[in-house]
Amino acid sequence: MPKKLLIQGGTLVNESGTLQADVLIEGERIKAQAQPNTFSPQEVDEVVDATGKLVLPGLIEPHVHFNSPFMGTTTVHDYDNGTIAAAYGGVTTIIDFSTQPKGGSLLENLGKKEEEAKGKAYIDWSMHGILLDASPLTLKEIPELIEAGVPTYKCFTTYKHADRMMDDDGLLRVLDATARYGGMLMVHCENDTIIEHHLRRHVEEGHFAWIYHARSRPPAAENVAIQRVIDLMTEVTAPVYIVHTSTAESVTLIHLARARGLPIHSETCTHYLALTEEKLLGENGHFYICSPPLRTQRDVDALWMGLKNNCIEVVSTDDAGVPTADRIRLGEGRFDRVPNGMPGIEPRLDLLHTEGVHKGRITLPQLVAITATNVARLFGLYPQKGHLGPGADADVVIYDPTVRWTMSSKTLHMNTDFCPFEGWQIVGRVQSVLNRGEFVIRDGALVGKPGRGRRIFRKLEVGSTNLNT
């Protein structure tokens, strides 16, 4: 008989509201939710008291780079330590990337990720692809990828120096295959020519300070690249998801394109909502080098407004921490040599609750939408995940919205000595996390086992990407 578990006394939050309700779990699934005291505690195996707590759907993190080689180093998280840190942050499903080997087969590479995760993952996981070219082999593999449960894949409009850039011709070909076979293209938008122009000038002039990372990747580089993708989409229309938007203008550009009926979506990341480029001015500015770079307070404010207006549909973390020793060794004191990327998989919920909900910038239902429900809908995980309705996987976060604490890398669980939000005063903390009906975190302690996380194969529903059109 599947175990019956009752979460009692909590405030349930879903994308459209909050209500006092109890949740009945049977085995791996949500059986029902109902008004308090509907279910009899005598008829279940276990009762979990959630009085005074929020009961949220498990978060889905759609943008992490686990064990990913880049600019001479490898990111700090793998399926072991990365999924532990994720779970402490209320995440029950991550979507990682499998990168096409240059000139090679992305499909073959999927198997490697499966090996990496085997026996390690504490929570469920899934995969996007990263396409480095639009060769006949790549285009042939797109329908096979979609068929293999990987219906979303990313291209870069920059990183030419790292041989990762997709040009307009490539983008059009990939858009065409995406439209034909029913996938969704994710795009890292920064115009490489603009970046290279500024980079060359700053290096020639001997400007190596960390702030020149932001100066060489100005908002225009991102805005031009987004507009370019929009223009290409008008020629070949397929669903597109712009990753890690950081500028005020990106919100308007994407909003206008959507208003014209284009199936375009976007995310921003926790760090763009909380930090500004001033971080690059300090001696330790190299810790904050990521691409796109941190922006200004005006951009931060516009991104929050974009979330409030449902223009930006998702907040991810783009977790891509770089080992501190490699930042220093490879960076050689120059902004242009520091491997890009920051860790962030754990603090997303706490940051959004503190800076968003507590400060009145977004509501609790919006918090659930941008971290779980919208993500599930956009990435083909709905209705299995992203909500607490009957039949969904019992992925649940019990969150205490009253706890006050100070964020620090010393007490977080990420595999790094750097936390971008060190010293921040936080309101709210994850108490317990269940993934498919099993506790992974219980009363703040890790109780899940490595390898229990399952690979989730995804399928985009027709029209599932039309969240706001």
Q: Which residues bind ligand URP (CB under 6 A)?
A: 65, 188, 290-291, 318, 320, 340-341
Query: Closer CB to ligand URP, residue 65 or residue 436?
Result: 65
Among Zn ion, ligand URP, none, residue 133 binds (CB under 5-8 Å by kind): none
Query: Closer CB to Zn ion, residue 155 or residue 368?
Result: 155
Among ligand URP, Zn ion, none, residue 73 binds (CB under 5-8 Å by kind): none
Taking the complex as a whole, the smallest distance from the CB of residue 208 to ligand URP amounts, in Å, to: 18
Sequence-distant (≥ 6) Cβ neighbours of residue 85 within 8 angstroms: 77, 345, 346, 412, 413, 414, 415
- Positions touching Zn ion (CB under 5 A) are 188, 318
Taking the complex as a whole, the smallest distance from the CB of residue 132 to ligand URP amounts, in Å, to: 13
- Which secondary structure element, helix H or strand E, spans residue 49, and what is its range? strand 46-49
Gap between the Cα atoms of 326 and 391, Å rounded: 46
Query: Closer CB to ligand URP, residue 188 or residue 353?
Result: 188
Residue 188: strand pairing partners: 156
Side-chain half-sphere CA neighbours of 62 within 13 A? 33
Taking the complex as a whole, the smallest distance from the CB of residue 174 to ligand URP amounts, in Å, to: 17
Sequence-distant (≥ 6) Cβ neighbours of residue 445 within 8 angstroms: none
Complete DSSP assignment for 90-142 = TEEEEEEEEEPPTTS-HHHHHHHHHHHHTTT-SSEEEEEEE-----HHHHHHH
Among ligand URP, Zn ion, none, residue 290 binds (CB under 5-8 Å by kind): ligand URP
Sequence-distant (≥ 6) Cβ neighbours of residue 28 within 8 angstroms: 2, 393, 394, 436, 437, 438
Taking the complex as a whole, the smallest distance from the CB of residue 243 to Zn ion amounts, in Å, to: 5
Gap between the Cα atoms of 289 and 318, Å rounded: 13
Query: Closer CB to ligand URP, residue 338 or residue 394?
Result: 338
Gap between the Cα atoms of 181 and 281, Å rounded: 46
Taking the complex as a whole, the smallest distance from the CB of residue 340 to ligand URP amounts, in Å, to: 3
Among ligand URP, Zn ion, none, residue 77 binds (CB under 5-8 Å by kind): none
Residue entry with tokens 């890009």: 340
Among Zn ion, ligand URP, none, residue 371 binds (CB under 5-8 Å by kind): none
Gap between the Cα atoms of 292 and 266, Å rounded: 14
List C-alpha distances in Å: 430 to 9, 53, 54, 274, 360: 17, 10, 10, 20, 20
Query: Closer CB to ligand URP, residue 116 or residue 319?
Result: 319
Query: Closer CB to ligand URP, residue 302 or residue 320?
Result: 320
Query: Closer CB to ligand URP, residue 291 or residue 384?
Result: 291
Contact indicator for 74, 414 with CB cutoff of 8 Å: no
Among Zn ion, ligand URP, none, residue 341 binds (CB under 5-8 Å by kind): ligand URP
Strands of 314-316's sheet, edge to edge?
Answer: 59-61, 91-99, 124-130, 152-156, 184-188, 240-242, 264-269, 314-316
Residue 69, judged by CB atoms within 10 A of its CB (0-12, 13-18, 19+), counts as exposed
Taking the complex as a whole, the smallest distance from the CB of residue 221 to Zn ion amounts, in Å, to: 13
Among Zn ion, ligand URP, none, residue 340 binds (CB under 5-8 Å by kind): ligand URP
Among ligand URP, Zn ion, none, residue 441 binds (CB under 5-8 Å by kind): none
Taking the complex as a whole, the smallest distance from the CB of residue 191 to ligand URP amounts, in Å, to: 14
Query: Closer CB to ligand URP, residue 341 or residue 428?
Result: 341
- Rounded to the nearest 10 degrees, the angle between the axes of helix 136-147 and helix 168-181 is 30
Taking the complex as a whole, the smallest distance from the CB of residue 320 to ligand URP amounts, in Å, to: 4
Nearest to Zn ion by Cβ — which residue? 188
Query: Closer CB to Zn ion, residue 318 or residue 355?
Result: 318
Taking the complex as a whole, the smallest distance from the CB of residue 318 to Zn ion amounts, in Å, to: 4
Query: Closer CB to ligand URP, residue 128 or residue 436?
Result: 128
- Which secondary structure element, helix H or strand E, spans residue 46, and what is its range? strand 46-49
Taking the complex as a whole, the smallest distance from the CB of residue 317 to Zn ion amounts, in Å, to: 9
